[in-house]
Structure formats: structure tokens, C-alpha cells
Amino acid sequence: MHRIKIGVLVSGRGSNLQAIIDNIEKSLLPAKIAVVISDQPDAYSLERARKHNIPAVHISAKGYKGKRGEYDALLAAELQKNRVELVCLAGFMRVITPTLIKAFPNRILNIHPALLPAFPGLHVQKAALDHGVKFSGCTVHFVDEGMDTGPIIIQAVVPILDNDTEDSLSERILRQEHKIYSRAIHLYAEGRLKIEGRRVLVIDGKINAAEFLLNP
């Protein structure tokens, strides 16, 4: 079976990266991580990749202030050099520009720790708590030129508890992130995701949103 080559872009600790690596190693995900790229030199993600013999590259953004497109051209070149077919943003804390999107049209996924379109941007678990919503969760979506706006592939719902803190909520959301990101990559790898306008349909799919709703 063809194993899709993915490139993972990271900035930090890389627990989503680790979940993808673990699922590949358990043969649950027909993929191969061709390269992990970080904009941060000391990201723990790079270490995680190296421990699994995955090429790990730091591409510094120093000197690219106001030249985000030029930086993204470096990312695109590194991804293309490694023959990446699908790009996965996993805690990559930079806004992507059209330069990268045009190099990988409909081939970039992102995981976001809220139920989009609610709470785009940063510090969103705190924003959900502050707003007083009763449910939050996480979203895997295709990346388009907006901020967290692309077509949604999978969401998981996480109830907010009265005694939740930003940390406790983030932790429970993260557990769901680790499941749905691999699931979305799997569907993509099987060629089963069809984008129709804003909607992403799963071809021949038994899954629907309900499968991922509440996972106590």
C-alpha cells in the first residue's frame, strides 16, 4: 500500500507529532513522515523526530520579519525536496502565506484547539473558558488563506467542567486532538476527502461528525 509522505511543521513540544509517529509505528496510519520542520531551534518536536530517525530541520525565521512569503518559500523548498505530498501543521505558530498554499493547494492540514469557527487565533482554551461556553473541542481543517478559516474535516467536542482551568481543559482537548488528527490524515491518505465549497465530504465513509462527538 502506498504510504503518503507527510511533512510536519512544528514550533513546540510536539505531542500531536508524537501521536502521528506512534500511529504510524503501530501501522494504524499508512503514512511516512518525510521531514519535520520547526521555526524554533530548540523545539522539543525536533528531538522527538530524531529519536525516531525522522529528518528534523530547523529553518530560522530570523531576518524574515515582514517577508513571510520569502520564509514560506524556504519551507516549500524543503518540503518539495523531501517529496512531501501532504503538509500537516501541528502546533506551528506562524501564519501561512499564499506562497506555501499555492505550492501545496488543498494539501495542507491544521489542527486547532477549539470548535471553529468559534475561537480562532491564539490562547483559545482560555477564551472559551472566559466566554463561558459549555462545550469546546478541536478541529482539523484544510488551510486556506485566512486565519483558521479553511474547510473543516473533523471536529471533536469536549465538555467544559465547572472546575476547569486553562490547563485542565487544554489537556482534555489535546487527548482528542491526538485522535482526530491521525484520523483526518488517514482519510486524506485514502483519497476519501472531497471538498465541496466549505464542506468536506467523506467518500464511502461510515464516519460522520457524531462518531467524534463525545468520547468520555
Active site residue ranges:
112
Among 4, 86, 90, 153, binds ligand GAR (CB under 6 A): 90
Site size with ligand GAR, rule: CB under 6 A: 12
Site membership for ligand GAR, residue 101 (CB under 6 A): no
Taking a C-beta distance cutoff of 8 angstroms, is the pair 153, 88 a contact?
no
Question: Of the two residues 171 and 211, which places its CB atom closer to ligand GAR in the complex?
Answer: 171
Instruction: Give me the least distance between CB of 112 and ligand GAR, in Å please.
Output: 5
* φ, ψ of residue 134 in degrees (nearest 5): -90, -20
Pick the stretch among 76-84, 106-114, 156-164, 188-196 that binds ligand GAR (CB under 6 A).
Answer: 106-114
Among 57, 73, 174, 202, binds ligand GAR (CB under 6 A): 174
> Would you give the binding string for ligand GAR spanning residues 4-33, x where CB under 6 A is met?
--------xxxxx-----------------
What is the contact surface with ligand GAR in residues (CB under 6 A)? 12-16, 90-91, 111-113, 174, 177
